[in-house]
Amino acid sequence: MTLDDANLAGIELVDVVVRGGSWANARGERTTLRRVRLDGVRATGVVLAEATLVDVELADVRLDLASLRLARLDGVVFRDCRLEEADLGGARLTSVLFERCSLTGAVLAGAALERCELRGCELTGLVGPEALRGARMPMEDVIASAATLAAAAGVRIVAADAEGRG
């Protein structure tokens, strides 16, 4: 399914599986996706602002530069997805799983996360990391993302001096 530059605003997709193809730069404001699976879709720059995604699975989907601003996501799974510089600002995420995703430079400012989990994700340069408050992460992921999480908590990281003090 190729929807490059298509206007999908306000449509509703229910019980759909999409394998491959391109949704790059498609416009889908206020779109509803319910029980949808996207697999291997290139959706760079897709606009799903104010969209509703319920029971959606995205596997190996490229969502870099995508806009999910003010969207509502419930029961969504992102697996092996690229969300670099994606905008989730003001979005409401409930029971969302990010597994092995790149969220480098993604925007979470103003997002509300409830019962969400991140596993094996890259969080470097995350904008608004304080939105992760309450999210679940394995300890090794917390350690790998320590600088981003510390910044969210207002902790400034300094170099240790020769005697091991900061």
Cα–Cα distances (Å) from 8 to 84, 88, 106, in that order, read 23, 19, 23
CATH no. for 12-152: 2.160.20
pTM of the model as a whole: 0.90
Q: State the residue for tokens 């206007």.
A: 7
Average pLDDT over residues 123-131: 94
- What b/e readout covers 47-65, taking b as 16+ CB neighbours within 10 angstroms? bbbbbbbbbbbbbebbbbb
State the amino acid at position 162 in one-letter form.
A
| pLDDT, tens digit, 9 for 90 and up, residues 46-83 | 999 999 999 999 999 999 999 999 999 999 999 999 99
Partner residues linked to 38 by β-bridges: 18, 58
Q: pLDDT tens for residues 93-118?
A: 999 999 999 999 999 999 999 999 99
Contact 132, 111 (CB under 8 A): no
